[in-house]
Amino acid sequence: MRTRPLKVALLGCGVVGSEVARIMTTHADDLAARIGAPVELVGVAVRRPSKVREGIDPALITTDATALVRRGDIDVVIEVIGGIEPARTLITTAFENGASVVSANKALLAEDGAALHAAAEKYGRDLYYEAAVAGAIPLVRPLRESLAGDKVNRVLGIVNGTTNFILDKMDTSGAGYSEALDEATALGYAEADPTADVEGFDAAAKAAILAGIAFHTRVKIGDVHREGITEVTAADIASARRMGCTVKLLAICERAADGRSVTARVHPAMIPLSHPLASVREAYNAVFVEAEAAGQLMFYGPGAGGSPTASAVLGDLVAVCRNKLGEATGPGESAYTRLPVSPMGEVVTRYHISLDVADKPGVLAQVATVFAEQGVSIDTVRQQGKDGEASLVVVTHRAPDAALSGTVEALRKLDTVRGVASIMRVEGE
């Protein structure tokens, strides 16, 4: 074993960063044995230096992150501060000054991953980011390495624990969205401002990363169709249950049947209770991967939190340090297919549409005519009426999303349709 330590700089010391520092200290001997050399934490960049950070030598604390990554003797920089800037500049500066980078920054990677990979390649450094997607669940490395010889056609997953907790509580307790969100906040699963989670931004960033890796093409967060869960109601949950389904916020990345394009989307959907993802409860994550040779694979576990995310960071740290010792680098960006990302309108899906209609003869015929005119085939219809008002629930066969959207717009123009109570896609069948 080499006795001279590999030097590590840590950018950020919040929930994840402090746990990374703790494990590096308490498991120092094990990490050294697995790497083949000791690792030494030589600096921790923070915004509030006066805050007490238990177990971290105060002499390591600095507010000058730029000076830390420019030292020139750093082997690996761990970036867990999040956001676009200053993280982007700090990472590229680290590359320029001889350090490889381990990051958990999904937002930055989904927005500017191509430029970061290009910088890493230019300076001969590693860029690893297992912790950016699904916390402790090994997912990025299996897609980048274990399945590198296979052809992945679909990635379907629950990649946000906050929304899964909320939807699970709505399903199991009958709570409304607001009540379930309040419980998630009280338990620490939701941030004070939960927008990134409940509006699907967090999941969309992860979907962009997964699609890029799985299909060997460049996908940015702006390419991902995004819908959140704020409009999901207790009635939607009940309708799903009557169909033998449950509602999940899904990240779905697919290769087109002809292989010429890909799609990436995040939205709530009904999935059958028989599907493996239907049993994912509380704040857990799970990702279902479909590959030509390997078949169907499922990855499951805690998708967030200090310890799970730190586990993924340290796994990358070990890999990058081993590469350093071997004077090599691991896999970089693979975007050779250059496949375009198709718009949501071209995606073929099923729909569950709930309508408030007048309770009188001929309404069903009018609604069915609209579907036929738009080229959308109806699978099932359920109608209930009372006191001149009725509800009509239509489940379609698979059709292009644009056709289904056109159908909904045409339905809104019918005099007999009082309103569209809910619209939800049906997946996983």
Summarised one tens digit per residue, pLDDT across range 278-334 is 999 999 999 999 999 999 999 999 877 889 999 999 999 999 999 999 999 999 999
* Residue 73, Cβ density class (10 Å: 0-12 exposed, 13-18 middle, ≥19 buried): exposed
Handedness of CA 1, 330, 147, 266 (dihedral sign): positive
The helix (run of H) or strand (run of E) holding residue 100 is strand 100-103
- 90-109 in b/e form (b: 16+ CB < 10 A) is bbbbbbebbbbbbbbbbbbb
What number of residues does the chain have? 429
Burial class of residue 57, CB neighbours in 10 A (0-12, 13-18, 19+) = exposed
CB atoms within 10 A of CB 158: 27
Helix ranges restricted to H, 124-259: 140-141, 161-173, 177-186, 195-198, 201-215, 234-242
Show the tokens assigned to 144: 């980048």
Identify the pLDDT of residue 388: 63
Inter-residue contact 221 to 154 (CB < 8 Å)? no
Catalytic residue among 122, 151, 169, 206: 206
The pLDDT assigned to 387 comes to 62
DSSP SS3 for 358:
strand
CA distances from 405 to 200, 252, 291, 295 (A): 20, 19, 30, 33
pLDDT at residue 7, as a whole number: 98
The SS3 assignment for 38 reads coil
Active site residue 51: no
Cβ pair 131, 309 in contact under 8 A? yes
CA distance 208 to 104: 14
Residue with tokens 């989670």: 197
pLDDT at 134: 87
The first and second tokens of residue 357, run together, are 């209609």
Instruction: Give 39's strand partners.
Output: 6
End-to-end CA distance of the chain: 52
Backbone torsions φ then ψ of 321, nearest 5 degrees: -65, -40
DSSP for 139-153 reads: -HHIIIIITTTS-EE
In which element (H, E) is residue 26 found?
Answer: helix 15-26
3-state secondary structure of 286: strand
Write out pLDDT tens, residues 202-253. Answer: 999 999 999 999 999 999 999 999 999 999 999 999 999 988 999 999 999 9
For residues 156 and 285, what is the distance between their CA atoms, to the nearest angstrom? 11
Q: Which residues of the chain have pLDDT under 70?
A: 385-388
Q: Which of 45, 58, 50, 60 is nearest to 91 (CA)?
A: 45
